[in-house]
Amino acid sequence: MNLLTALARLLLFPGLLFAVPAAWFFLWVERKAVALMQGRIGPPFMQPFYDFVKLLGKTTPPRTGIGGLLMRLWPLLAVSAAAGAVGMLPVLPASGGFEGDLILLLALLELPSVCIIAAGFTSRSIFSEIGSAREAALSVSYNIVFLLAIVSIAAAQHTFRLEALATMPASPLLWLGIAALLVCLPARLHLNPFSLPNAEQEIYSGPMIEYAGPELALWELSHGLEWVAATGLVATLLAPHITLWWMAVLLFIALSFLLVLLLSTLAAATARLAIDTTVRFYWQCSLLFAVLAISSALLMRLRS
């Protein structure tokens, strides 16, 4: 029974069967929101799906001097890690089965970005190396804030279990942690103003520049799944505890959608910052914020 529920969570909801269409939908919402903000009509609803299928049907020209197997491995790893992260989100209340903890979820969330860095360096193009170096610098700076925010929430709840975190009652501390998480999301999803690793006009496609065809399709998919996982994590923390499963699902989807809308609007309204400004932003402003959150969490724990 436990195995069955775990499989159902990984494959059906919130796993692959839900996550892949949701990934395409969120990618579309991102592009559409940017288009609307710029006064355009934007791509049709099925656009990310068309792009995915089209990329699957393309050939790959030979890449001389690059480790072929390694290049093919990174996007696969990124997609599976992102899908696993989505599958672990505690959306359904007390569903039983395999319950991963927060540490596993964070590791899975982090893996796609590690894959991007590795892929850029594997492809040995000068542009992808610049993109990877930027991604690495960025991930070092936002991850500290991200992890501190998560740890502060977990410390307040005295547990790393996901179910317990999802059912946590609203408190000022939770809001502080969620705000710190939200600050990190644009950098995690490579959105403006922190879209440095894939800065189109400066370094072409960044780490993805040597990828083509089906491998590129997998990268697009993993980006979409990262959207679902990252917004889903915040949505599960935001959502109040509901025992009706369909209400919980609906609320989860609605909250994720609102977050996507918020992030895309931010992306459309801002321009890209330089790497030093970005790193300074995360180290100076947000770190303060996160340290505040974790110290108050620890204080609360000492007093209780």
Partner 1 sequence: MNLWKRLMCACRRRSPWLFHMNSGSCNGCDIELVASLSPRYDAEQLGVRLEGSPRHADILCITGPVTKNSVGAIRTVYAQACSPKAVVAIGSCPATTNVFIDSRTLAGPLDKHIPVDVFVPGCPPRPDAIIQGIAQAAAILAERGMDTPQAEISIAAPQAAVHHEVQP
State the residues that interact with partner 1 by CB under 8 A: 31, 35, 38-44, 46-47, 49-51, 53-54, 57-61, 200, 203-205, 208-213, 216
Q: State CA 264 to chain mean position distance.
A: 14
**Closest CB to partner 1 among 184 and 203?**
203
Nearest distance in Å: CB 26, partner 1: 17
**C-alpha to C-alpha distance for 89 and 98, rounded to whole angstroms:** 11
Other CB atoms within 10 A of residue 262 CB: 14
Which is closer to partner 1, CB of 50 or CB of 175? Answer: 50
Nearer to partner 1, 55 or 260 (CB): 55
CB of 125 to partner 1, least distance (A): 9
Query: What does residue 161 show for φ and ψ, rounded to 5 degrees?
Result: -75, 135
Are 234 and 90 in contact, with CB atoms under 8 Å apart? no
Sign of CA dihedral 7, 244, 89, 208: positive
Closer residue to partner 1 (CB): 55 or 138: 55
We find the least distance from the C-beta atom of residue 209 to partner 1, in angstroms, to be: 4
* C-alpha count within 13 angstroms, C-beta hemisphere, residue 223: 22
Q: Which is nearer to partner 1, 44 or 240 (CB)?
A: 44
Q: How many residues comprise the chain?
A: 304
Least distance from partner 1 to the Cβ atom of residue 267, Å: 15
CB 84 within 8 A of CB 9: no
Least Cβ distance, residue 120 to partner 1 (angstroms): 13
Task: Look at residue 103 and give its three-state secondary structure.
Answer: helix
